Every structure is written in C-alpha cells, then in structure tokens.
Amino acid sequence: MRFTDFRRQLLDYRQRHPEEAATVDAFATLLDDPQDPFVRARLEGHFTGSAWVVSADGERALLTHHRKLDRWLQPGGHADGDIDLAQVALREAQEETGVPGLRLEDGALFDLDRHWIPERRDVPGHWHYDARYVVRAGADERYVVSGESHDLAWREVAAIHATADDDSMRRLAAKWLARRNGAP
C-alpha cells in the first residue's frame, strides 16, 4: 500500500478528531490518487507540510507574515516529493524562521487544513492539503526573517485564539490550548 505512514497518521487523526472525518476523507482520497499528490506539479491540489511552532514553555507560537498571501500564518510549504510531511514541516520551519534547535514535538498530525491558493503569475489557483505538526523551540527563540515573509513574531497562543482573522489559525490555537489543558 502506497504511503503507509501517512495513511496511518490520518487514521490516528480521525480517531482523535472524529468531528473532522470529512477532512480526513478528502486527504485520504488525494493520497489514493494515481498522480503523485506530494509534488506541486499536481495542479489540481497537493500535500503541503506546516509547523505550529511553539515556544519552549508552550505559551507562544511563532507566526510568519506571509509575503505572497499577505496574512499571518504558521510556517510551511510544499513537500516537493518528500512523503514525510512531518519532516517537511520541520524543514520549512527551520528555513522560514532560522530559529536554532527546532524539533518535532512528537511527529503526530496536529491539524489538517484544505485551503485554496489563488492564481499567481503562471501558476493557476489550486488546493493545498496542509498537514500540520507541532514543532518546539528551545531556549534560543531568535528568528531570522526570510525572503518568504514580511515579518515574523512570537504571539501568545490565547491571543491568537481570540483575535486571529483566519479560521484555521483560531483552530490551531484552540487545539493547542486544549492540549495544554489535557486533551489529546
């Protein structure tokens, strides 16, 4: 069976979040597509990996003011053929933030989000199927703004939950706050 590890992650995620069954089903359908869903050349939609980067104490998350989308979001990007989306998320967080010592929290799917990316130059609009993982910072939280961002900022997770304009950012913050309070 193709992509066994990611399929196992989707099944585990569905057990933890039965209310998101339709989203999991959409990801599983893409995973079964005969055209490789891990490459951006699949213009109908493809997998991406993102990082919910949290501070060592878990109180803050590092957000990027995304240059192309002009919104505050979590770091992330294209898999470009890599089927280990947890490693994609970690790599993207390292490249986009420059924070030293970042590490995957546990490698389990933290959130799934399917979102539309508008047309840009010669790339038509398409769907991103974004697999999101928790990435933890160490004691050194210094960051470097990359060319993919206007800016980066550490934000209190509770403030993200209360004020974010983006539904998926509020959902990420809510899931993190629930986890800190003992939810799976």
Tell me the per-residue pLDDT of 98-118, one tens digit each, with 9 for 90 and over. Answer: 999 999 999 999 999 999 988
The residue ranges of DSSP E strands in the chain, in sequence order, are 45-54, 60-66, 72-73, 76-78, 103-117, 126-136, 149-156
Tokens of 67: 């240059």
CATH code of the domain in which 115 resides = 3.90.79.10
For residue 110, what are the domain limits? 4-180
Residue 96 predicted with pLDDT over 90: yes
Question: What do you get for the CA distance between the two ends of the chain, in Å?
Answer: 28
* Residue 57 vs residue 2, higher pLDDT: 57
Determine the average pLDDT of the residues in 110-128.
Answer: 91
What phi and psi values does residue 100 have, to the nearest 5 degrees?
-75, 150
Provide the b/e sequence for 114-148 (b: ≥16 CB within 10 Å). eeebeeeeeeeebbbbbbbbbbbbeeebebebeee
Is there a contact between 91 and 117 (Cβ–Cβ < 8 Å)? no
What phi and psi values does residue 54 have, to the nearest 5 degrees?
-115, 150
Tokens of 182: 């003992």
Tokens 């706050």, residue located: 177
Tokens of 142: 């210094």
Q: What angle do CA 59, 55, 144 make, to 5 degrees?
A: 135
Parallel, antiparallel, or unpaired: how do β-strands 126-136 and 45-54 relate? parallel
Tally of structural domains, the chain: 1
- pTM of the entire predicted model: 0.94
Across the strands, what pairs with 149? 66
Half-sphere exposure (CA, 13 Å, Cβ side) for 171?
A: 11
Span 64-84, pLDDT tens digits = 988 777 888 999 999 999 999
> What is the Cα–Cα distance from 77 to 89, expressed in whole angstroms?
7
Q: How many residues does the chain have?
A: 184
